[in-house]
Structure formats: structure tokens, C-alpha cells
Amino acid sequence: MRILKDILYRVEIKSVVGGTSLTVDTIAFDSRKVTKNSLFVAIKGVDADGHNYIENAVNSGAAVVVCEKMPEAINNEVTYVCVEDTNKALAIMASNFYDNPSSKLKLVGVTGTNGKTTIATLLYNLFSNLGYKVGLLSTVKIVVGKIVYETSHTTPDSLAINYYLSEMVETGCDYCFMEVSSHGIVQQRTYGLDFDGGVFTNLTHDHLDYHKTFAEYRDAKKMFFDQLSAKAFALVNIDDKNGNIMLQNTRAKKRSYALKNMADYKGQVLESQFSGMLLKVNQQEVWTQLIGAFNAYNLLTVYGVAVELGVTSDEALLQLSKLQSVTGRFQYIVSSKNVTAIVDYAHTPDALKNVLETINGIRSFNEKLITVVGCGGNRDKTKRPEMARIASEMSSKVVFTSDNPRFEDPYEILKEMEKGVELQNAMKTIVVEDRKQAIKLACQQAEPGDIILIAGKGHETYQEIKGVRSHFNDMEIVTEFLEQ
Ligand SMILES: CC(=O)N[C@H]1[C@@H](OP(=O)(O)OP(=O)(O)OC[C@H]2O[C@@H](n3ccc(=O)[nH]c3=O)[C@H](O)[C@@H]2O)O[C@H](CO)[C@@H](O)[C@@H]1O[C@H](C)C(=O)N[C@@H](C)C(=O)N[C@H](CCC(=O)O)C(=O)O
Ligand SMILES: Nc1ncnc2c1ncn2[C@@H]1O[C@H](COP(=O)(O)OP(=O)(O)OP(=O)(O)O)[C@@H](O)[C@H]1O
Ligand SMILES: N[C@H](CCC[C@H](N)C(=O)O)C(=O)O
Ligand SMILES: [Mg+2]
């Protein structure tokens, strides 16, 4: 329960109709979740406009309505607050409602196309291993200390973020590491949060269904760095051509990491095997359990963040050597017949290329690489031919299959993928729409020494078809078939 006046602190208000001394029990931005004494925030979304649901919200008991346009019909028992941007207002009100939790712990946000979950989770593990109580907001799960919550988004809405942060503060967490998605930035889900650091991983092709152009997608990421304060650090990958762009207008302390260019945190991969890699980090060597150049970047970032947050470099390196791969990120098993199966969340062209490059850099020429891959429905369609081209160029055999077709026809998605396959690689590919059968086929075709990559779903435990999610887990299924 909070007084409206306090909830509105720092919100840029255009006009108010009604009093602001009343108390509010909850905040809701979905009219269907409004209860008695709620504050309802009307948001213009992709499919609907919350302004059309103001009356429903009032009928359900909303005592306050925050909107961008005053409704024509005003209810005298309700307070109406008109603001410029309801997404921003919601974020500030959520912070106020939960007592500004982001200012009470060290908060670091990770943004970029790939690597966010890996980095945030490794940071969670590293700081937990150091003995701190830590929070995590990620694609895979939300963690408050040791309590794990399920999540449906990479970056939750601002109300949920502030709720979880307040839980973290309440239970004594010292740090929180969170993923910041481009959708999250554009929809102001992280607006007004008091970040101590921001990290940029890389920027490659994804989500062009939502952002329309690559420049728009890049600018969304940049906005996160533009909003950091002077006390924060901005740690960016300057091997990525967009790294410096992220730093252009930030007030934060500028820090860089790289494998190729000069940087504050400079790394080099000295040796690579399936079991791990030898990394050189700022002149010191460390054996890590993760592999692939992309993970060298991720580990370098984790090291940089730890040092920026005050961990000594020796301690940070020691901790780096203890970190293990994250669920669904290059997770592998070796069967009794010596077939290696790797489950990886590569669902963008760049991620797929990196993972295939890593495997090809390790396998010997007589070992086959069989890739099973699909592309998500109702998501960026331009990724489809690209991912199929990469898979067919860089594997010995490819099974194209479904990956959450959602509301699309799975065969239409597969047809779009096949358009990317060059004629000389067509013989290597086969379509098996049913993902379980696709994995089975890959297992049947694998001989001792061969490697199977199952890409795209990683940690996911479902296959989503026409709005229905049925249990599906790549690792479970491949383990079953490999031993048959
Ligand atoms: C495209 C997109 O990002 N949509 C997100 C957005 O919904 P929206 O505002 O567009 O919703 P809308 O349906 O148009 O409705 C507009 C408003 O009317 C309200 N409404 C609607 C109906 C009604 O009866 N009453 C009512 O009040 C809605 O609550 C909403 O406030 O805001 C919602 C609340 O934050 C999100 O749940 C929702 O995520 C949808 C489900 C989604 O699938 N998002 C994905 C694409 C996403 O966000 N992905 C990113 C990145 C993934 C990654 O790369 O890892 C993520 O961070 O997860
Ligand atoms: N630094 C990196 N650069 C390029 N590819 C990477 C990097 N780190 C991981 N990957 C690849 O991208 C996949 C997804 O990694 P991760 O889940 O860490 O990314 P993410 O940014 O959280 O993705 P999402 O946007 O879906 O949340 C991994 O399975 C791996 O194939
Ligand atoms: N967070 C990403 C994940 C994609 C994972 C892939 N399995 C799919 O369903 O397309 C998205 O929503 O675009
Ligand atoms: Mg993620």
C-alpha cells in the first residue's frame, strides 16, 4: 500500500484530474489484472492499446488511471493522471512502489544479441562462489538468493523487475545480474533503474521483425548505455564494430574488452579442446572449462565485470577456472559408442556460425558433424535462409526440423529455410518436421567419433505449436536415442 503522491515522485506529469492523497494497493498495466484500489497504467502495445481498456479497469475497481490521453468519460471517484510516456511512468512508479530497490544493491545489466544469459549466469555463479548472496534475472530463470522462479521473458516488465529486486534486497542480496533485451529497452522495462554497470556483448542479426532495421535495433541497445549514470561502468566488446557506438554518448566510465584489438581487458585463446581452453587474460593464463572463441569473450566480460566491481584480478582468475557451462549452452554428452551430442541455444545466424566453427576447430576430418536445426515461428523470418545456409555449409549432414512453430505452418518455415541452401550443399540436407524424429535420425546416422549438434532450443523444455506448449527437451531426447 502506498500513497499516490509518493508513487508519482519523479514522474513527469502533464495533467491530473482528482486527488493524489489516496492510497493504492497494487499497480497493474493489464485491465484483466486490476483489483479493487489498483492503479491502472494504459499502455499502447503492438497488438492492443491499453487506453481502450480504461473503462474495464475502472469497472474492476481501479482507483487511479495513468494514461497518455485523458478518456472522454471521466468517473468522479477515480483520479486520472496524464503523462507523456506511460511505459516510462510505469517504470518509475514501479521503482517508487517497491522503495527503489535497484539503489540498494549492485546491479549490472548485460545487453547484446548473444551471450547475455551465459554472462549473467556465470556472474551469478562467480559471485555466489565468492560467498555473496546474489540475484539473477535471465531468459532461463529468475533467482533470488537460492530461490528459483520461472520466467517467460529475458527481461521482465518493469513492475516484475522491481518486485524481484525488492525481494532480493529483502533477503539480503548484495548483487543482481540481469539480461537487458532490446525489446526491454524499447519498452522502457529497465528505465530508471540504478545500474552500477552495463555490458555490451555483440550485435548481429536478430529480432528484425520487431525493430524493422538493423540501425533501429542498434540504437535500442545504445539507449541502454545513454541512460547509465556517471557512477556506473560501461564495459563493451570493441572487436564488435558497434562496441564504440555504445560508448558514444554514455556518462558511464568507459571500459573495453577484446580478443583482437587493444583493450582494458585483453584476451587470447592459447589452446582449445572439448574439455576446455587455455586463456590468456591480461598477461595471466587460466584454464577454463568452457570452450569456443565466443566463450572466451564471455569469460573476458565476466572477468572485467568482477574486477570493475572490486574483485582482485587473481581472485577473479581463480574463479574463472571454476565456472562451468550454462544449461543449454554448449552442453554435451558422450555416448557409450563415443558419439558426442551437443545441445546449444544458437538461434541466430551468428551464434550458429560460432558454435559450428568451434566444433569444426576441434573435430578431426574423419569425424562427421550432423546438425539438427530449425527456426522459430512468428519471429524474424529473415534469419531462416541465413541459418540454413550456415548449417549446410559448415556441417557434414543437416536435418532441418521445427523449433517452436508457434502459429505458423511448420512446412512454410522449413521451405523458407531451404531457400538459403546452395545447390552444392542440398544433398547434405533432409527435412524431418517432427523434432523428435529429426533427433532420432541424427542419432541413427552417427558413427563412433561423430558429433551431433542440436541447435536452437538449449534449455527450453517445450515445443510450442499453435499456442500450446508440450514438454520437449533436446538433451533428454538425444540421451534416450543415443543409447538405443
Ligand atoms: C512484442 C512484445 O514485446 N510485447 C510485449 C509487450 O506487450 P504489448 O504491450 O505489445 O501488449 P499488447 O497485447 O499490445 O497490449 C497493450 C496493452 O494493453 C493491455 N491490455 C490488453 C488487453 C486487455 O484486455 N486489457 C489490457 O489492459 C496490455 O496489458 C498491454 O499493457 O509488453 C508485455 C508486458 O511487458 C510483454 O509481455 C509482451 O511480450 C510478448 C508476450 C513477447 O512475446 N515478447 C517477446 C518478443 C520479448 O519481449 N522478447 C524479449 C527478447 C527475447 C530474447 O532475445 O531473449 C524478452 O525480453 O523476452
Ligand atoms: N559472446 C557470444 N558471441 C556469439 N555467440 C554467442 C556468445 N555467447 C553465446 N553465444 C551463442 O549464442 C547462444 C545463446 O547464448 P545466450 O543464451 O548466452 O545468449 P542470449 O543473449 O542470452 O540470448 P537471448 O537473446 O535468446 O536471451 C549460445 O547457445 C551460443 O550458441
Ligand atoms: N528469446 C528468443 C528465443 C528464440 C529461441 C527459439 N527456440 C525460438 O523459439 O525461436 C526469441 O523469443 O526470439
Ligand atoms: Mg538470454
Rg, the chain, Cα only: 24
- Contact assessment for residue 477 and residue 436, using Cβ atoms and an 8 Å cutoff: yes
Closest ligand to residue 181's CA = 1
Q: Whose CA is nearest to atom 9 of ligand 2?
A: 115
With b meaning 16 or more CB within 10 Å and e meaning fewer, what string describes 312-337?
eeeebbebbeebebbebbbbbeebee
484 is in an annotated binding site: no
**Residue 347 Cα to ligand 3 middle (Å):** 7
**Which class is 2-97 in CATH?**
alpha beta
C-alpha span between 279 and 283 (Å, rounded): 10
Parts of the chain with a pLDDT under 50: none
Ligand 2 pocket by Cβ (under 6 Å): 114-118, 139, 154, 179, 201-202, 294, 297-298, 329, 344-346, 350-351, 354-355, 458
Report pLDDT for 273: 84
Helix 293-308 to helix 349-362 angle (10° resolution) is 110
Q: What is the pLDDT of residues 261-292, one digit of tens each?
A: 999 999 999 998 888 999 999 999 999 999 88
Q: Whose CA is nearest to atom 7 of ligand 3?
A: 457
**Residue 179 Cα to ligand 4 middle (Å):** 6
- Contact assessment for residue 40 and residue 54, using Cβ atoms and an 8 Å cutoff: yes
379 is in an annotated binding site: yes
Which residue(s) pair with 462 in the sheet? 471
Report pLDDT for 274: 82
Q: Whose CA is nearest to atom 10 of ligand 3?
A: 376
Q: Which three cell numbers stand for residue 380?
A: 524474424
Report pLDDT for 236: 98
344 lines ligand 3 (CB under 6 A): no
50 lines ligand 1 (CB under 6 A): yes
What is the residue whose three cell numbers read 506448449?
Answer: 469
379 lines ligand 3 (CB under 6 A): yes
Report pLDDT for 53: 98
Closest ligand to residue 112's CA = 2
For 294-377, strand residue ranges (E) read 331-334, 340-344, 369-373
C-alpha span between 356 and 326 (Å, rounded): 18
Asked if the interface predicted TM-score (ipTM) of this complex is over 0.90, the answer is yes
Report pLDDT for 48: 97
With b meaning 16 or more CB within 10 Å and e meaning fewer, what string describes 259-272?
beeebbbbbbbeeb
C-alpha span between 275 and 54 (Å, rounded): 57
**Which class is 331-482 in CATH?**
alpha beta
- At 325, is the secondary structure helix, strand, or coil? coil
Closest ligand to residue 352's CA = 2
Probe ligand 2: pick from 111, 118, 210, 387, max atoms within 8 Å of CB? 118
153 lines ligand 1 (CB under 6 A): yes
113 is in an annotated binding site: yes
101-322 falls under which CATH superfamily? Mur-like, catalytic domain (3.40.1190.10)
C-alpha span between 83 and 238 (Å, rounded): 38
Report pLDDT for 213: 87
Query: Could you state, in order of their start, the residue ranges of all structural domains in the chain?
Result: 2-97, 101-322, 331-482
189 is in an annotated binding site: yes
| Residue among 72, 52, 53, 54 at smallest CA distance from 63 | 54
Q: Which three cell numbers stand for residue 344?
A: 546449444
Report pLDDT for 24: 97
225 lines ligand 1 (CB under 6 A): no
152 lines ligand 1 (CB under 6 A): no
- Contact assessment for residue 305 and residue 123, using Cβ atoms and an 8 Å cutoff: yes
Sheet holding 79-83, edge to edge: 13-17, 79-83, 64-67, 38-41, 26-28
C-alpha span between 404 and 455 (Å, rounded): 12
Q: What is the pLDDT of residues 24-82, one digit of tens each?
A: 999 999 999 999 999 999 999 999 999 999 999 999 999 999 999 999 989 999 999 99
